[in-house]
Amino acid sequence: DHGMNDAQAAVALKTLHILLVEDNAVNQQVAAGFLRHLGQNVKIANDGFEAISAFEKDKFDLILMDMQMPNLDGIEATRRIRALPDGQAVSIIAMTANASEDDRRLCHEAGMTGFETKPVTMPKLRDIIARTEQIVDPGQMASVKAAPPERDSEFDTLYEQRRAELIEALPRVARQFLR
């Protein structure tokens, strides 16, 4: 990233409207926190059905799709989104802990644009956003850029609480491992 800090990198990124599809609450908080830190608009869906519903109601530049979820998994949700009007236009990136060739093939066959392994990190998300910017039509981008990122104060409070708890717990956990 050529020595840019997170704040500089966030300024360099365009603001995208991102749908985060993830069933795990901790993963949701971490990824959404990173995305908001990078200046992105984020909406969260808990499973494939919620993702399809959100996509039908709103326009997204990027969907980050967990593969394994209850009710409707990421592969089937992607197939169904691709079949909808505008479903071919959106970038859909698989986010998964399973990085096998079979998983990559399944994602590709379902119509996913890309594939990223978990854990989600700020540099990985920055790269995905930068790659997506190049795909999104500049005319579409203007309307997205005009809307300021939504702030979810309840999320921000929870995020800070979790962060403080983790920082507080680190020395205790480290001592257990060093025994």
Give the residue, 16 or 152, on which the prediction is more confident: 16
Q: For the residues 7-28, what does the mean pLDDT come to?
A: 83
Q: For the residues 124-142, what does the mean pLDDT come to?
A: 70
Q: pLDDT class for 118, splitting at 50, 70, 90?
A: confident
Q: pLDDT class for 138, splitting at 50, 70, 90?
A: very low
Residue 79 has pLDDT above 70, yes or no: yes
Residue 157 has pLDDT above 90, yes or no: no
> Measured between alpha carbons, how far is 73 from 48 in angstroms, rounded to an integer?
6
Q: Which pLDDT score is estimated for 46?
A: 96
Residue 160 has pLDDT above 90, yes or no: no
Q: pLDDT class for 132, splitting at 50, 70, 90?
A: confident
Q: Which pLDDT score is estimated for 57?
A: 95
> Which neighbouring-strand residues pair with 92?
63
Q: How many Cβ atoms from other residues are within 10 Å of residue 1's Cβ?
A: 13
> Measured between alpha carbons, how far is 129 from 108 in angstroms, rounded to an integer?
19
Residue 9 has pLDDT above 60, yes or no: no
CB 179 within 8 A of CB 49: no
CB 92 within 8 A of CB 65: yes
> In sequence order, which residues have a C-beta less than 8 Å from that of residue 67 and are 6 or more positions away?
73, 74, 75, 94, 95, 96, 98, 103, 107
Q: Which pLDDT score is estimated for 155?
A: 57
